[in-house]
Amino acid sequence: MRRTRRSIAIAVVLGVVTGLVMTGTAFAQDATDGADAPTVFTIGVDSDITGLSPFVLCCGADYEYLELVYDLGIGFNPDDLSPAPGIVTSWEPNEDKMEWTLKVRQDATFNDGEPVTVEDVAFTFSFVADYGLPFYKDYFPFSPTFEVVDDETLLWKSTEPTFAPEVPPYMPILPEHIWSQFATGDDPKEARRAVKDFANDPPVGSGPFELTEYARGQFLRFTYREGHWLGTPAAIDEIVIRIYDNQEAMATALRAGEIDFAESMSPNQFNTVKDDPNITGHVASAGCWGNIAYNFGGQGPDSSNHPAIQDRDVRLAIAHAVDRQVIVDRVYQGTAAVGWSILDPAKNSYYYKDIPAELQYPYDPAEANRILDEAGYLDTDDDGVREMPDGSDPLDFEFMTITDVDGSVDTGRLFQSFLQEIGIKVTFKTVDQAKANDLWFSGDWDVYVWDWCPDPDPDFMLSVFTTDQCLSWSDGCYSNPEYDELYEAQRQATDREARREIVYEMQDMIAEELPVMVLNYWSDLQAYRSDRWDPAGFSTSPNTELGLLLFGYGTVRKYLDIVPIGDSSGTATSQGLPAWVWIAVVGGVAVIAGGVMFARRGRDTDENVA
Partner 1 sequence: MGSQRYLLRKVLHALLTLLFVLFANFVLFRILPSDPVQLLARSQHLSAEDVAEQISSLGLDKPIPEQFVVYIRQTLTGDLGVSLRSGVAVTELIGERVGPTILLVGVATILSTLFGLWIGIRGGWRRGSAFDTSSLYSSLVLYSMPEGWLGMILLLFFAGVLGLFPAGGYSSSQTITGFAHVVDVANHMFLPCLTLTLGYIGEYAIVMRSSLIEVMNEDFVMTARAKGVRDVMVRRRHAVPNALLPTLTLVFLSFGFVLGGAIIVETVFSWPGLGQRTVTAIGQRDYPFIQGAFLLLSASVIVFNLIADILYGYLDPRVRES
Identity of the residue, 61 or 104, whose beta carbon is nearer to partner 1 in the bound complex? 61
**Beta strands in 467-548, from DSSP E residues, in sequence order:** 516-529
Question: Which residue in 420, 450, 467, 499 sits closest to 162, CA to CA?
Answer: 499
276 sits in which H/E element = none
The secondary structure of 226-253, three-state, reads CCCCCCCCCCCCEEEEEECCCHHHHHHH
Binding mask 225-244 for partner 1 (x = CB under 8 A): ---------------x-xxx
CA atoms in the 13 A half-sphere facing the CB of 259: 24
- Judged by CB under 8 A, the stretch of 26-34, 76-84, 499-507, 547-555 that binds partner 1 is 26-34
**What are the φ and ψ backbone dihedral angles of 85, each rounded to 5 degrees?**
-55, 135
Residue selected from 7, 18, 143, 218 as contacting partner 1 according to rule CB under 8 A: 218
**Least separation, in Å, of the C-beta of 134 and partner 1?**
5
Of the two residues 252 and 271, which places its CB atom closer to partner 1 in the complex?
252
**Cβ closest to partner 1, residue 272 vs residue 280:** 272
Binding residue (CB under 8 A) for partner 1 from 14, 22, 37, 199: 199
**C-alpha span between 575 and 57 (Å, rounded):** 32
Which residue from 27, 362, 366, 384 is in contact with partner 1, where contact means CB under 8 A?
27
Contacts of partner 1 in 243-302 (CB under 8 A): 243-246, 248-250, 252-253, 255-258
Select from 59, 407, 47, 86 the least CA-distant residue to 250.
47
Shorter beta-carbon distance to partner 1: residue 58 or 498: 58
- Which residue's CB is nearer to partner 1, number 185 or number 391? 185
Q: How far is the CB of 47 from partner 1 (least distance, A)?
A: 8
CB 459 within 8 A of CB 412: no
Q: Round to whole Å and give the CA distance between 540 and 109.
A: 28
Choose which of 7, 92, 189, 231 interacts with partner 1 (CB under 8 A): 189
Backbone angles phi, psi at 31, to 5 degrees: -65, -30
Report how many residues bind partner 1 under the rule CB under 8 A. 66
Q: Which is nearer to partner 1, 249 or 409 (CB)?
A: 249
Contact between 192 and partner 1 by CB under 8 A: the answer reads yes
Nearer to partner 1, 15 or 441 (CB): 441
Selected from 106, 310, 437, 543, the binder of partner 1 by CB under 8 A is 437
Interface of this chain with partner 1, residues 36 to 55, rule: CB under 8 A? 50-53
Q: Which is nearer to partner 1, 198 or 350 (CB)?
A: 198
Supply the minimum distance, in Å, between the C-beta of residue 131 and partner 1: 12
Going by C-alpha positions, the residue among 255, 224, 217 that lies closest to residue 239 is: 224
Toward partner 1, which CB reaches closer, 123 or 139? 139
Q: Which of residues 566-605 bind partner 1 (CB under 8 A)?
A: 574-579, 582
Is there a contact between 218 and 42 (Cβ–Cβ < 8 Å)?
no
Work out how close the CB of 244 gets to partner 1 at its nearest, in angstroms, rounded to a whole number: 5
Query: Closer to partner 1 at the Cβ: 138 or 373?
Result: 138
The mark string for 70-99 relative to partner 1 (x by CB under 8 A, - otherwise) is ------------------------------
**CB of residue 242 vs partner 1: minimum separation in angstroms?**
6
> In the set 8, 13, 16, 56, which binds partner 1 (CB under 8 A)?
56
Report d(CA 396, CA 392) in Å as an integer. 12
DSSP letter for each residue of 310-357: G-HHHHHHHHHH--HHHHHHHHSTT-SEE---SS-TTTTTTT--PPPG
By beta-carbon proximity to partner 1, the closer residue of 50 and 126 is 50
Q: What character string, x for contact with partner 1 (CB under 8 A) and - otherwise, covers 108-137?
A: --------------------------xx--
| Alpha carbons 108 and 465: distance in angstroms, whole number | 40
Q: How far is CA 197 from CA 126, 136, 184, 194, in A?
A: 20, 17, 16, 5
Phi, psi of 209 (to 5 degrees): -125, 155
Residue among 94, 143, 196, 310 that touches partner 1 (CB under 8 A): 196
| Residue 553: strand, helix, or coil | coil
Among 18, 381, 441, 485, which residue interacts with partner 1 (rule: CB under 8 A)?
441
Shortest Cβ 498–partner 1 spacing (Å): 28
Q: How far apart are the first and last CA of the chain?
A: 21
> On the CB side of 354, how many CA atoms lie within 13 Å of its CA?
2
DSSP β-ladder status, 238-243 and 40-45? parallel
Please state, in angstroms and rounded to a whole number, the distance separating the CA atoms of residues 259 and 516: 39
Instruction: Find the shortest distance in angstroms from Cβ 437 to partner 1.
Output: 5
Number of other residues whose CB lies within 10 A of the CB of residue 180: 14
Q: What is the binding site for partner 1 (CB under 8 A)?
A: 27, 30-31, 50-53, 56, 58, 134-135, 138, 189, 192-193, 196-201, 213, 215-219, 221, 240, 242-246, 248-250, 252-253, 255-258, 404, 432-435, 437-438, 440-441, 471-473, 574-579, 582, 607-610
